[in-house]
Amino acid sequence: MRRLLLALPFALLPLAIAHAADAAHEVEHASLGAHEHGTARLNAALDDETLELELDSPAMNLVGFEHPATSDADKAAVNNVRQLLAQPLTLFAVPAAAKCIVAKQTLNSPLFGDKPAADEHDHDEDADEHDADGAEHHHDHSEIHAHYQLQCDNAAVLKSLDLTRLFKTFPATHKVQVQLIAPNGQEGVDATPDNSVLTY
């Protein structure tokens, strides 16, 4: 009996490891933010003369759909959004006095033909939805990621970031969860169309 009790923790070890890995995955997924239509995430970091902006949004907020673009209308919509996102100084109202230029930018999305990220995938069988008559619906969840690096000759005037144009350009975006990182600290705020100016 004593041998059995001593062996029990070792027998349960693989189960404990698997459970811990699942819990870690859930925490990691939660920290990345849930895929919520109407809500986007923005990291804005100011370091010396560099302003980094990283926008993550469900494609639904920007394009109006998340399925692969097959029709001409869908392809045109995706192309239009890509062109809008390629102009960060138009979307994010950075003061002209800051004299910022776009030093680097990347745009990624399965809708742009990019491979989806590891955490961005079709729902599995436990996430499929059923309608009233029991028919099963399988949903794709596509994200759009935009990363910008702005070099500013006069970064001292960067006291605020105005998201008004972002909300007007993409009206299906109702909230942006923002992490502001500046020399004086870090702050998390929710921007909305009625509260769209962020201060550092």
- 174's CB contacts (< 8 A; 6+ apart) are 38, 39, 192, 193
How many alpha carbons lie under 13 Å from residue 171 in its C-beta half-sphere?
A: 1
The pLDDT of residue 197: 92
pLDDT for 82-140, tens place per residue?
999 999 999 998 889 999 999 999 999 999 987 655 544 444 333 344 444 443 344 56
The pLDDT of residue 19: 42
The pLDDT of residue 117: 53
Q: How far is it, in rounded angstroms, from Cα 191 to Cα 34?
A: 17
pLDDT for 41-92, tens place per residue?
999 999 999 999 999 999 999 999 988 889 999 999 999 999 999 999 999 9
The pLDDT of residue 33: 53
pLDDT for 149-194, tens place per residue?
999 999 999 988 899 999 999 999 999 999 999 888 899 999 999 9
Q: What is the DSSP letter of 53?
A: E
Place of tokens 């399925």: 67
